[in-house]
Amino acid sequence: MMELVSVDIGGTHARFSIATIHEDGTITLDEPETIHTKDHASFQTAWEDYRDRKGGSLPSRVAMAIAGPVGGEVIRFTNNPWIIRPALVKEKLGVESYCIVNDFEAVAHAVARVGDDQFIHLTGPDKPLAPTGRLSVLGPGTGLGVAHLYREPDGTYRVSATEGGHIDFAPLDSIEDAILARLRKRHNRVSIERVVSGPAISDIYQTLAAMEGKPVAEEDDIAIWTRGQEGSDSLAAAAVDRFCLSLGSVAGDIALAQGGFGGVVIAGGLGYRIRETLVKSGFAERFKAKGRFQELMASIPVKLITHPQPGLFGAAAAYAREHA
């Protein structure tokens, strides 16, 4: 049995947990602690905060899932100002060993390791994810994470991180043309992350309001999500529906690009929170709407992972694999 600190660092939150890797290879997590990245100047001070919360001591191993490209002498986060220098991790954190992976690389490890009961069905044939071949994994949060997983016939698997969230956004109708036009005023190049991520709901909402000639104040995206999900604001609800359409289009594009024909998995806290809306929305139709490839797209099972902390679980799984 081995204990380590598992950390999942996104643009808004850093989540910490003590992971236990048991003799039979199973992984368990204790109750996670969530720290706001804006409340700390660096990952080291956030680590020290967590250490204090755990009574002043932590295991001497750490697995980190990071929202951004990993590798090189300096790791920079995509949506928060922290940096990590891998060469200094042992010294700064006081640990003996570490593992650093991209956050959606970690999620893909979780997809590979959890049971079928940790998924709910969204669209396509209602069957388990393929036991062999390639699967695509993506999820909206502060940004848009993308990875892929390849399952070998002997039960082993390989995971690759990608930066698929930064491919170009392709509008499919006049409303998405308007969303693109609004975003292009601020960004010369508009990626899918600008439309399919938690903060993107604000631009979608503002675009719909402008189309209807309704003056609305700039506001926090969480408020729009809340009203849209509650149904108390029809314009916010329309923005949520539009988000689901775009997510369906993007998920289908990622599957085509990666060859994720064994299954597509939507991950992330936002995906889980809007799961009921996703099922009732136009997500499924947009996922399949790929012209000559519509029949192929309709054959792909699309699931949503329900494990409460796939990033933390997957980071621990990546550590276990690297230090087996």
Residue 23: enclosing H or E segment and its boundaries? Answer: none
Contact call for residues 135 and 265 (beta carbons, < 8 A): yes
Task: Determine if residue 127 is left, alpha or beta; phi over 0 gives left, psi from -120 to 50 gives alpha, anything else beta.
Answer: beta
Task: Name the residue type at position 225.
Answer: W
β-sheet bridge partners, residue 62: 5, 98
9 annotated as a binding-site residue: yes
10 annotated as a binding-site residue: yes
Q: For residue 111, give Cα distances in angstroms to 191, 237, 249, 299.
A: 25, 30, 22, 20
Task: Name the residue type at position 260.
Answer: G
164 annotated as a binding-site residue: no
37 annotated as a binding-site residue: no
The Cβ of residue 36 has, within 10 Å, a number of other Cβ atoms equal to: 11
Per the listing, tokens 């380590």 go with 4
123 annotated as a binding-site residue: no
User: What percentage of the chain's residues is helix, strand, coil (to nearest 5)?
Assistant: 45, 25, 35
Give binding residues as ranges: 7-12
Give binding residues for ATP as ranges: 7-12
